[in-house]
Amino acid sequence: MNKNHFAVIGLFLLLITIIISCQKLEPSAPAEDSILDGPVENLTSAQNIQHLAGDVGFNGQVFTAATGLGPVFVATSCGSCHAGDGKGHPFTTLTRFGKNDSLGRNEFDHGPQLQERALPGYAPEKLPVGTSFAKFTPPINSGLGFIELVSEDDILAMAAGNFNNPDGVRGHPNWSLLPTYIKIRPGSENQGNRYITRFGKKASTYNLLHQTILAYNQDMGIASSFDPSDVFTLLDTDPEISDKIVREVVFYLQTLKAPIQRDQHNSDVITGKDLFVQIGCESCHKQTLKTGISPVSALENKEFHPYTDLLVHDMGPGLDDGYTEGSAKTSEWRTAPLWGLGLAPKSQGGQFFLLHDGRARSIDEAIRMHGGEALVIKNRYNALQENEKQKVIKFLNSL
Amino acid sequence: MKILILATLLFIAFNAQAQIDTTLLRRTTADTSKRKMNMDAIYNRPMLQSGKLPVSLGGYVEANYQHLGTDGISEGHQFQFRRLTLFVASTISSRIKFLSEIEFEPADKEISVEFAAVDVEFHPLFNLRGGMIVNPIGAFNQNHDGPKWEFTDRPISAEKMLPATWSNAGFGVYGKYYQNRWLLGYELYLTSGFDNTIIENEFNRTYLPAAKANAERFEESNNGEPLITAKVAVKNTRFGEIGFSYMGGIYNKYQEDGFKLDDKRRLDVFALDINTRISKTGTAFTGEYAWIFVNVPDTYSQQFGNKQHGGFLDIVQPLLKDNLLGWRNAVLNLACRLEYVDYNVGRFKETGENIGDEIWSIMPAISFRPNPQTVFRLNYRFQKQRDIFTNPAVNTAGFSFGISTYF
């Protein structure tokens, strides 16, 4: 054997060592608190299987003409708009338009959502001239299973709690008409044929199934057995998605973990949080809510920290786009949950696009755009010293 | 059924060999003479020929072990049998030859005819080729045999941006001209081509390889429009080869039975390929870069870009050339592949900012070639991929080890 033989043998031994140490040379996982996707802790293996199946439906299923997309649509998959289950981008921001009458009917046939994109050969919808509209930037999808389980009594209690709020904070649940495929929870509160709805920026959908079916239909032009209408002809057509996949996607949303706070022991974060509470932000952005009973024990009777009251509030003329849903007025918006706020740039291309339509380019700007019921409290924020403001922002960034 | 066909084919192939007294077999090793260019890769393969039989046989296999992980999620140990390819070539009469390349990719449960063409030689400058043709876009598409490369994976830009291996029914002409150290080659083919799936697919991006799923193109063009592929290459036997290629045509189905369905939409691809070797050090450079322009309707989603570009560069440095472990002329190489693809070149209408959808990869490698036809290769891939919003990149890294050989 000459020395070349040793070289070759040496190299192959090296190769084997490398392969054995393989995993160490692979990229490590990002910290759990730095990402929004992933399941809640302590799911059973059966629930893990369902969550994974829903993940495939949500992130993996890209619709094409062949699988039912459109023919007019806004995007091609849930995951295109909700990248990493985080907030969306101006490119994935959608437009709703028109006015609804007391029966929830839009003044236009083709409404409320603008089908601004189309398959080749088709023309997309155009916004009718002179009509009012609002834009909606996709919100975070994590932790929604907890929000779905907040009792209506708790929501009504938060509204009642503002009865004599000295800062002028009021707020009420959005009471909406429901599509027939919605199974109403036993004992659900109603005002005539209207029910308390909680998802979406106007809090206009009842539960995650409702939101999911709307998304399939209005965002992607996918008809389902729940809502078989075709966005283009407005006539009923064959389902383009199976009930099974719909249920799996809903389960996926229900079992996404709640966003995890970072740096909560940092002294600036602690001071910032105290200031946030002191100046009254928590009147609307309620820190702690709780869930009730659930078939998923990992979600059952849990306290969680979304920083919302699930009520709609009059946010003043600056945020009044002249478009609304349910019993909310045009100036009324659901208190945006603030959890996961600091992770927004990770899904918004390194920037912030905040408030319902992404108009606020920083946390500070989002706060300064508060008006209406939040005016007094916003002015208190404005009156803070610069370094105190920075601490409030640091706290919000830790969420 | 496909399995059955394959089994029969294999049986015939192996039996054909088994029944022949191997001492009669003549190995026609690949002609590495300097007269060969990338365009000759299809024919320039090691084959076995028996006595005076006009048929020669060959092929190659590729198998790997891989251990890759993405952001903390490891795929674990993966054992891959990528492909088995058989070549059958024959000289039918003087100046008429036939070559076919049949590929079996078990993962896709697919047997496909990658190449099956009859060539008629009139003059070195003018030859006719008809049948199933590998479109000469870039250099990799025609030069894709596993054993030729130091890496277990095909280049991303060649396989996942350009659609290697991309072959179509069609015909055309090719030729070569030489003088002293210079060679000039050209190819021009008309073939069937792409379809709407390049912008209507589940990859959620403009993706030329999506059109490979449509096997109907071998029988009926989706829109009755030809795909033109043309290539010109120049080689200097001292400096190396450079190729310019173009492939384009109308890709979409714009009419059916006389009814207009859409405007005519074009696809145009330009590619540049080089290979050269520094004679002093023996360092070899092989690279290819391509630019793709697709007419995507304005009112369709910006998810599907109208421009793409990307390429790769392989650098291979022989370390030892010697009699190693009893193999004469064995070679040990150190290599590295650099890759980049931007699947969506452009700016968002909404923000004016760059649309991402990009991928980078660096892949150092060690390869050992006991003979020129066989390669053992160990690669370490480090890859970053960003989504269309240019959010933080997804990192993938890990090892692969593979063997690939002509037989």
What integer pLDDT is reported at residue A1 of this predicted model?
Answer: 46
State phi, psi for A88 to the nearest 5 degrees: -95, -170
- Reduced to 3 states (helix: H, G, I; strand: E, B; else coil), residue B255 is strand
Q: What is the DSSP letter of B24?
A: G
Q: How many CB atoms lie within 10 A of CB B163?
A: 21
CB-based contact B378:A70 (threshold 8 Å): no
The Cα B61–Cα B49 span in angstroms is 19
Residue B106: pLDDT band by 50, 70, 90 thresholds? confident
Distance from CA of B393 to the nearest CA of A (A): 10
The Cα B224–Cα B236 span in angstroms is 39
Sign of the four-CA dihedral A69, A70, A76, A82: negative
The Cα B250–Cα B266 span in angstroms is 4
What's at A351, amino acid-wise? Answer: Q
Tokens describing residue A14: 């090296």
Of A29, A91, A118, the CB nearest to B302: A91
Q: Which of A15, A26, A115 to mutate to test the interface with B (most CBs of B within 10 A)?
A: A26
What integer pLDDT is reported at residue A341 of this predicted model?
Answer: 97
* Torsion (CA) A103, A106, A110, A116 in degrees, nearest 10: -130
Q: In angstroms, what CA-CA distances link A40 with A49, A296, B69, B92? A: 13, 10, 23, 68
Domains held by chain B: number? 1
**Could B69 and A27 be called an inter-chain contact, meaning their C-beta atoms sit closer than 8 Å?**
yes
What integer pLDDT is reported at residue B232 of this predicted model?
Answer: 96
**What are the strands, taking DSSP E only, across B35-109?**
47-50, 55-70, 73-74, 78-93, 96-105
The answer on pLDDT for A21 being more than 80 is no
**Could A26 and B199 be called an inter-chain contact, meaning their C-beta atoms sit closer than 8 Å?**
no
What integer pLDDT is reported at residue B296 of this predicted model?
Answer: 95
Burial of B104 (0-12, 13-18, 19+ CB in 10 A): buried
Mean of pLDDT values over A353-382 = 97
Residue by residue, DSSP assigns B184-221 as: EEEEEEEE----GGGTSSTTSS--GGGGGG-GGGGTS-
Mean of pLDDT values over B15-33 = 46
The tens digit of pLDDT for each residue in A72-102 reads 999 999 999 999 999 999 999 999 998 777 6
pLDDT, chain B, mean: 87
Of A19, A26, A122, the CB nearest to B69: A26
Q: Does the bond joining A237 to the residue before it have cis omega, within 30 degrees of 0?
A: no
What integer pLDDT is reported at residue B15 of this predicted model?
Answer: 38
The answer on pLDDT for A340 being more than 50 is yes
What integer pLDDT is reported at residue A32 of this predicted model?
Answer: 87
Residues 377-396 of B with CB under 8 A from A: 378, 380, 387-392, 395-396
Tokens describing residue B179: 């003088």
Residues 275-304 of B with CB under 8 A from A: 297, 299-303
Which of these, B279, B185, B293, lies nearest to B238 by C-alpha position?
B279
Mean of pLDDT values over B106-125 = 87
The answer on pLDDT for B22 being more than 90 is no
The tens digit of pLDDT for each residue in A170-209 reads 999 999 999 999 999 998 999 999 999 999 999 999 999 9
The Cα A368–Cα A316 span in angstroms is 12
pLDDT, chain A, mean: 92
The tens digit of pLDDT for each residue in B259-302 reads 989 999 999 999 999 999 998 999 999 999 999 999 999 999 99
The answer on pLDDT for B305 being more than 80 is yes
Looking at chain B, how many residues does it have? 407
* Torsion (CA) A194, A198, A204, A206 in degrees, nearest 10: -60
Which run of H or E residues covers position A344? helix A344-347
What integer pLDDT is reported at residue B294 of this predicted model?
Answer: 97
Mean of pLDDT values over A348-359 = 96
Which run of H or E residues covers position B231? strand B227-236
The Cα B194–Cα B252 span in angstroms is 7
- Reduced to 3 states (helix: H, G, I; strand: E, B; else coil), residue A232 is coil
The Cα B180–Cα B334 span in angstroms is 33
The answer on pLDDT for B8 being more than 50 is no
Distance from CA of B89 to the nearest CA of A (A): 36
Taking the Cβ of residue B16 and every Cβ of chain A, the question of whether any pair is shorter than 8 Å is answered with no
Instruction: Please list, in sequence order, all residues whose beta carbon lies within 8 angstroms of the beta carbon of residue A323, skipping any fewer than 6 positions away.
Output: A96, A97, A98, A99, A112, A132, A133, A134, A330
Burial of A335 (0-12, 13-18, 19+ CB in 10 A): buried
The answer on pLDDT for B18 being more than 50 is no
- Reduced to 3 states (helix: H, G, I; strand: E, B; else coil), residue A215 is helix
Residue B13: pLDDT band by 50, 70, 90 thresholds? very low
Q: Where are the alpha helices (DSSP H) in B19-54?
A: none
The tens digit of pLDDT for each residue in A28-72 reads 888 888 999 999 999 999 999 999 999 999 999 999 999 999 899
Residue B100's CATH number: 2.40.160.10
Q: Which of B34-48, B134-148, B340-354 has the lowest mean pLDDT?
A: B34-48
**Could B67 and A22 be called an inter-chain contact, meaning their C-beta atoms sit closer than 8 Å?**
yes
Distance from CA of B272 to the nearest CA of A (A): 31
What integer pLDDT is reported at residue B258 of this predicted model?
Answer: 86
The answer on pLDDT for B117 being more than 50 is yes
Q: Which residue of B has its CA nearest to A353?
A: B351
CB-based contact A255:A298 (threshold 8 Å): yes
* Torsion (CA) A284, A288, A294, A296 in degrees, nearest 10: 120
What integer pLDDT is reported at residue B221 of this predicted model?
Answer: 76
**Bridge-based pairing state of the strands B259-260 and B266-278:** unpaired
Q: What is the DSSP letter of B1?
A: -
Range of the domain at B176: 2-406
Taking the Cβ of residue B70 and every Cβ of chain A, the question of whether any pair is shorter than 8 Å is answered with yes
State phi, psi for B126 to the nearest 5 degrees: -145, 110
Taking the Cβ of residue B67 and every Cβ of chain A, the question of whether any pair is shorter than 8 Å is answered with yes
Of A69, A89, A93, the CB nearest to B389: A89
**Could A84 and B391 be called an inter-chain contact, meaning their C-beta atoms sit closer than 8 Å?**
yes
State phi, psi for B143 to the nearest 5 degrees: -120, 50
What's at A380, amino acid-wise? Answer: R
State phi, psi for B158 to the nearest 5 degrees: -85, -35
The answer on pLDDT for B46 being more than 90 is no
Please tell me the number of Cα atoms within 13 Å of A116 on its side-chain side: 18
Q: Which residue has the higher pLDDT, B371 or B34?
A: B371
The Cα B394–Cα A81 span in angstroms is 18
Q: Which of B263, B362, B391 to mutate to test the interface with A (most CBs of A within 10 A)?
A: B391
Residues 102-131 of B with CB under 8 A from A: none
Q: Which of A305-319, B208-222, B342-356 has the lowest mean pLDDT?
A: B208-222
Q: Which residue of B has its CA nearest to A94?
A: B350
The tens digit of pLDDT for each residue in A134-173 reads 999 999 999 999 999 999 999 999 999 999 999 999 999 9
Helix axes A45-55, A243-254, angle to 10 degrees: 110
**Could A91 and B350 be called an inter-chain contact, meaning their C-beta atoms sit closer than 8 Å?**
yes
What integer pLDDT is reported at residue B30 of this predicted model?
Answer: 55
What integer pLDDT is reported at residue A2 of this predicted model?
Answer: 57
CB-based contact B89:B55 (threshold 8 Å): yes
Q: Which residue of B has its CA nearest to A125?
A: B299
Taking the Cβ of residue B368 and every Cβ of chain A, the question of whether any pair is shorter than 8 Å is answered with yes
Taking the Cβ of residue B22 and every Cβ of chain A, the question of whether any pair is shorter than 8 Å is answered with no
ipTM of the complex: 0.89
Q: Which of A226-235, B8-17, B280-289, B299-308 has the lowest mean pLDDT?
A: B8-17
Which of these, B146, B253, B163, B252, lies nearest to B207 by C-alpha position?
B163
The tens digit of pLDDT for each residue in B155-181 reads 999 999 999 889 999 999 999 998 989
Chain A CB contacts of B201 under 8 Å are: 62, 64
Residue A314: pLDDT band by 50, 70, 90 thresholds? very high
CA A380 to chain centre: 28
The model's pTM is 0.90
What integer pLDDT is reported at residue A348 of this predicted model?
Answer: 96
Q: Cα B69–B74–B80 angle (5° rounding)?
A: 80
Distance from CA of B163 to the nearest CA of A (A): 20
The Cα A309–Cα A334 span in angstroms is 8
**Could B391 and A90 be called an inter-chain contact, meaning their C-beta atoms sit closer than 8 Å?**
no
CB-based contact A252:A51 (threshold 8 Å): yes
What's at A58, amino acid-wise? Answer: F
- Reduced to 3 states (helix: H, G, I; strand: E, B; else coil), residue A54 is helix
Which of these, A255, A253, A251, A274, lies nearest to A264 by C-alpha position?
A274
The Cα A44–Cα B340 span in angstroms is 41
**Could A27 and B378 be called an inter-chain contact, meaning their C-beta atoms sit closer than 8 Å?**
no
